[in-house]
Amino acid sequence: MSDVLKIFRELEMTWDRDNIYHQVLTYIAQASELLGLPAGMELILAQPKNEITVHFPVLMDNGDYQLFRGYRVQHNNVLGPFKGGIRYHQDADLDHVKALAVLMTMKTALYWLPYGGAKGAVKVNPRSLSQNELMRLTRRFTAALGQNIGPFYDVPAPDVGTNAQIMAWITDTYTNLHDPARRLDGMGVCTGKPLLLGGSQGREKATGQGLIYVLEQMLPEMGFDIGKVSYSLIGYGNVGSWTGKLMAERGAKLTAVLDHTGAIYSDKGIDALELDKYVAQKGGVGGFPNAEAITEDQFYSAKVDVLIPAALEQMINDRNVKLLNCKIVAEAANAPTTPQAERYMVEQGIQILPAILCNSGGVTVSYFEWNQNRQAETWDLEYVDAQLKKMVLAACARTKETARRLKCDLRVASYCAALERIAKVYLIRGIFP
Ligand code: NAD
């Protein structure tokens, strides 16, 4: 704590325990202290290289113009081009995007990907827009970002509220606005694109798939068998629904799900495929006929082996952590647990599989997509899955080895393993000039 306060004083920032960006910096400070990194290193990582805020008008279907605010935060690119998702959410703000950008730097470093970290957002509820409005907003945002994104500079991907269609509009806008002779390069401007437009096999399910590989590797050492666990999910969007479907293939029992439309429970197990179809039609899990409706508090209290948060940040917090009745929290979402909640969980013996280890399947297959685009190749699904598994197992081994060596928990170990790589590269490259 003392170290992080020193950094805050130096940056003239006021510490706020509820600010997610400040929370992420605290983890970095803790890991840096354990590694004995020079203070200058921490300082470099404590602020992003670039924080871009744009305001842009969009023509709405009713003929009016609405002004939107978008962000792209480019945290660090010492390991390679900036990389990170774009989110459409009504609560997006700069500190939130900064926190997510730092986490991207940590993920790409932990997984040894040739990328730095970035994140983008537009402050909008995408559910309130028509498809045409969503397309016009995406094209204007891409145009507003201009040269700040590019296949060799900063490569966006989907995140909360965005999907392959939105990546297709970004790619089309970008290639139309840039050198026509380099259209093939332009395809690599973002990842998570539709298959027909240079997307990769296995990208849509990649974050869920990566989590499954982590669970297969880590659960046995924690005394659990993936085929026999009961679990609950917060969120049934891209990450949550793919986790549900892939866990079902392995025989795990999904007993409770919470999303923005409500919470559901079934002692016998919820059919992940049926729920997927229902959510595609209705927009959320609320009202799913083959399970009982429960309250949010009942959801958090439900007895399960593993709780998988796969929705938004800070969802496991002071308010609900005391209700938890699980043995393991496997963090599929970014920063889903507040540090205060984490302290309580550790006291209670609840084990945590940390987010930067659990949810990097998406950025890893994004890297495969970018590689395929650069080489004008198409890899088959078996090859993508096999490569992803190899990368996940290597990251698990790195995290466990670091935890043993530094005698720390897996969260701190995952940050330390990432920071060690970044620090070594800074040492080799030196700091310009
Ligand atoms: P998504 O938009 O597809 O789904 C988000 C889910 O969160 C939805 O099910 C929604 O109902 C739920 N949700 C929203 N508000 C909620 C609330 N107040 N209470 C409960 N549930 C709520 O997003 P996603 O792509 O599945 O992302 C989920 C998480 O995983 C995010 O933290 C994201 O940053 C992270 N992540 C996503 C990817 C990816 O490839 N999509 C990769 C890495 C990490």
Q: Where are the beta strands (DSSP E) in 34-174?
A: 50-59, 65-76, 82-89, 117-123, 154-158
Distance (Å, whole) CA 184 – CA 200: 15
- Average pLDDT, integer, range 32-37: 94
Q: How confident is the model at residue 186 (pLDDT cuts 50, 70, 90)?
A: confident
Q: Which amino acid is at 286?
A: G
Q: Is the pLDDT confidence value at 3 over 80?
A: no
- Average pLDDT, integer, range 366-383: 97
* Residues taking part in catalysis: 119
Tell which one of 102, 259, 298 to mutate to probe ligand 1, the residue whose CB is within 8 A of the most ligand atoms. 259
Tell which one of 115, 207, 288 to mutate to probe ligand 1, the residue whose CB is within 8 A of the most ligand atoms. 207
Q: ∠ at Cα 322 (316, 328), nearest 5°?
A: 60
Q: Which amino acid is at 237?
A: G
Q: How far is the CA of 395 from the centre of ligand 1 (A)?
A: 23
Give every CB contact of residue 270 below 8 A, 6+ residues apart in sequence.
244, 254, 255, 256, 257, 264, 288, 290, 291
Q: Residue written as tokens 């002779």?
A: 181
Nearest to 238 by CA among 85, 25, 93: 85
Burial class (CB in 10 A: 0-12, 13-18, 19+), 417: buried
State the pLDDT at residue 99.
Answer: 98
DSSP helix/strand/coil, 100: helix
CATH 3.40.50.720 in the chain, residues?
A: 206-358
**Using an 8 Å Cβ cutoff, are 57 and 70 in contact?**
no
Q: Is the pLDDT confidence value at 1 over 70?
A: no
Which of ligand 1's atoms lies nearest the C-alpha of 366? 40
CATH 3.40.50.10860 in the chain, residues?
A: 48-182
| Range 48-182 has CATH code 3.40.50.10860 | yes
Q: Residue 424 gets which letter from DSSP?
A: H
Q: Is the pLDDT confidence value at 302 over 90?
A: yes
- Average pLDDT, integer, range 202-226: 97
Q: How far is the CA of 240 from the centre of ligand 1 (A)?
A: 7
Q: Whose CA is nearest to atom 28 of ligand 1?
A: 311
Q: Which amino acid is at 72?
A: R
CA 242 to chain CA centroid, nearest Å: 14
Q: How far is the CA of 176 from the centre of ligand 1 (A)?
A: 30
Q: How far is the CA of 194 from the centre of ligand 1 (A)?
A: 19
Q: Residue 311 gets which letter from DSSP?
A: S
**Using an 8 Å Cβ cutoff, are 299 and 325 in contact?**
no
Q: Whose CA is nearest to atom 3 of ligand 1?
A: 237
Q: Residue 316 gets which letter from DSSP?
A: B
Which of ligand 1's atoms lies nearest the C-alpha of 240? 26
Burial class (CB in 10 A: 0-12, 13-18, 19+), 286: middle
Distance (Å, whole) CA 240 – CA 232: 10
State the pLDDT at residue 4.
Answer: 76
State the pLDDT at residue 255.
Answer: 98
Q: How far is the CA of 332 from the centre of ligand 1 (A)?
A: 9
Q: Is the pLDDT confidence value at 223 over 90?
A: yes
Q: How far is the CA of 239 from the centre of ligand 1 (A)?
A: 7
Q: Is the pLDDT confidence value at 2 over 70?
A: no
Q: Whose CA is nearest to atom 33 of ligand 1?
A: 333
Q: Whose CA is nearest to atom 4 of ligand 1?
A: 237
| Range 206-358 has CATH code 3.40.50.720 | yes
Q: Cis (ω within 30 of 0) for the bond into 151?
A: no
Strands 351-353 and 292-294: unpaired
Q: How far is the CA of 313 from the centre of ligand 1 (A)?
A: 9
Q: Residue 35 gets which letter from DSSP?
A: H
**Using an 8 Å Cβ cutoff, are 232 and 256 in contact?**
yes
Tell which one of 200, 233, 238, 369 to mutate to probe ligand 1, the residue whose CB is within 8 A of the most ligand atoms. 238
Which of ligand 1's atoms lies nearest the C-alpha of 258? 20
- The chain-wide mean pLDDT, for the chain, equals 96
More confident residue, 186 or 248: 248
- Average pLDDT, integer, range 75-92: 98
- Average pLDDT, integer, range 52-61: 98
**Which residues lie with the beta carbon below 6 Å from any ligand 1 atom?**
158-161, 207, 234-240, 258-260, 284, 310-312, 332-334, 359, 362
Which of ligand 1's atoms lies nearest the C-alpha of 313? 32
3-state helix, strand, coil in the chain (%, to 5): 50, 20, 30
Distance (Å, whole) CA 262 – CA 202: 29
Which of ligand 1's atoms lies nearest the C-alpha of 203? 40
Tell which one of 160, 209, 367 to mutate to probe ligand 1, the residue whose CB is within 8 A of the most ligand atoms. 160
Q: How far is the CA of 235 from the centre of ligand 1 (A)?
A: 6
C-alpha R_g of the chain: 21
- Average pLDDT, integer, range 323-346: 97
Nearest to 391 by CA among 423, 363, 420: 363
Q: Residue written as tokens 């392995």?
A: 250
More confident residue, 162 or 179: 162
Distance (Å, whole) CA 40 – CA 268: 54
State the pLDDT at residue 182.
Answer: 83
- Average pLDDT, integer, range 395-413: 98
Global pTM reads 0.97
Q: How confident is the model at residue 177 (pLDDT cuts 50, 70, 90)?
A: very high
pLDDT > 70 in the chain, percent: 99
Q: Give me the phi and psi of 276, to 5 degrees please.
A: -60, -45
> 122 is written with which tokens?
């537009």
pLDDT in tens, 103-157: 999 999 999 999 999 999 999 999 999 999 999 999 999 999 999 999 999 999 9
